[in-house]
């Protein structure tokens, strides 16, 4: 990210869009992907790149393997990167987790472009949290079809 006072997000994007360290280009694919920590969608576009946004959030799986962590940037500490990142651990059931994420975004007026249903089909962070929670569910053990064991010959 270009550092300086009064540098707009648009100018930062123009200066770094072709040489960003989080940029991933794949052969044969016309899209550019990102490994930026505050990019919930994984696409290298200014809308989802959190390093250019004042407010950014993403969802990560918990280290314990149950639940998710909501990671967000505080607008108050823009010039202090160590204080700018905050985490909320959400490890209740999936309904409460998704409700808490939605409530957090609505109450804090957090990036309406990340939650507008008409634009992207669904709230990006809710989709990501839902996918992580679904992957953490234990898979049911499928019973294999047993073939009839051959009966022992009567002696």
A 10 A CB-CB count for 68 gives 26
Tell me, what's the pLDDT at 38?
84
Give residue 104's pLDDT. 86
Beta bridge partners of 68: 61, 90
CB crowding 42-67: b at 16 or more within 10 Å, else e: eebeebbbbbbbebbbbbebeeeeeb
What is the predicted pLDDT for the residue at 153? 67
**How does pLDDT run along the chain (155 residues), one tens digit per residue?**
555 567 788 888 888 888 888 888 888 888 888 888 888 788 888 877 877 777 888 889 998 889 999 998 888 887 788 888 999 999 999 999 999 988 888 787 766 665 554 344 347 888 889 999 999 988 888 888 777 666 776 65
Q: Enumerate the β-bridge partners of residue 39.
A: none
Residue-level pLDDT at 61: 93
The half-sphere exposure of 121 on its side-chain side, counting CA atoms within 13 A, is 4
Token pair, residue 99, equals 């409700």
Torsion over CA: 29, 52, 82, 62 (sign): negative
Q: What are phi and psi of 147, to 5 degrees?
A: -90, 150
Q: With CA atoms as reference, report the closest residue to 61 among 102, 24, 97, 36.
A: 97
The residues facing 89 across adjacent strands are 69
- In the chain, the domains with their CATH numbers are 8-49 (no CATH), 54-137 (3.30.390.110)
User: What is the reported pLDDT for 121?
Assistant: 32
């Amino acid at each position: 990210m270009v550092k300086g006072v009064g540098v707009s997000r648009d100018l930062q994007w123009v200066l770094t869009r072709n040489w960003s360290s989080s940029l991933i280009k794949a052969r044969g694919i016309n899209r550019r992907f990102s490994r930026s920590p505050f990019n919930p969608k994984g696409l290298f576009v200014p809308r989802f790149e959190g390093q250019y946004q004042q407010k950014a959030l993403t969802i990560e799986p918990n280290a314990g393997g149950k639940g998710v962590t909501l990671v967000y940037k505080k607008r108050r500490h823009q010039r202090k990167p160590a204080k700018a990142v905050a985490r909320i651990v959400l490890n209740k059931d999936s309904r409460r987790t998704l409700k808490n994420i939605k409530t957090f975004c609505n109450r804090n007026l957090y990036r309406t472009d990340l939650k507008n249903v008409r634009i992207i089909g669904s709230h990006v962070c809710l989709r990501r949290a839902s996918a992580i929670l679904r992957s953490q569910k234990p898979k049911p053990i499928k019973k294999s079809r047993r073939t009839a064991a051959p009966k022992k010959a009567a002696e």
